A = this chain, B = another copy of it.
Amino acid sequence: MSKQRQQPEKTTHTCCDVGVLMDPAFFKALCDPNRIALLDRLAQCPEPCTVTELCCCCDVDFSVVSRHLALLRDAGICHAVKRGKQVHYSVNYTDLAARLRAMADAIDACCPSGTGECNDVHTNKPE
């Protein structure tokens, strides 16, 4: 796929998408070092991991790991499947990559050259 720079042919992002796509809640889920460590660990595992397996990747209590994973799950970044008494966590890679790429596209579509020239300028002066 050759989307990027001098605007995408298919994606039709505009300036206004920047504020919509860049969701603070999404970033909040990713702004903790331990959560990134968990995602990193999950990314390196060929198959979903249990909470116990993930515990070794960050030096915090076991309950804390559980909570971080629940947060990532609630943010739509992870996926949890209960199998017996274990819960297997995995990353929604497709969705996560798509969200990040959509933001990049929106930014590119807005000011692709970085010259300060916007493609979709609507300087809404509030009040």
Residues of chain A having any CB pair with chain B under 8 Å: 1, 4, 8, 15-16, 18-19, 22-25, 27-28, 30-33, 35-37, 39-40, 43-48, 56-57, 90-94, 96-98, 100-101, 103-105, 107-108, 110-114, 116-118, 120-127
**Contact partners of A43 in chain B: CB under 8 A:** 15, 18-19, 107, 110-111, 118
Task: Identify the closest chain B residue to A127 (Cβ).
Answer: B56
Number of copies: 2
When chains A and B are docked, how far (Å) is the Cα of A113 from the Cα of B97? 11
Task: From known contacts A46-B116, A123-B44, A123-B45, infer whether A91 and B111 are also in contact, taking CB-CB under 8 Å.
Answer: yes
- Is there contact, CB below 8 Å, between B56 and A40? no
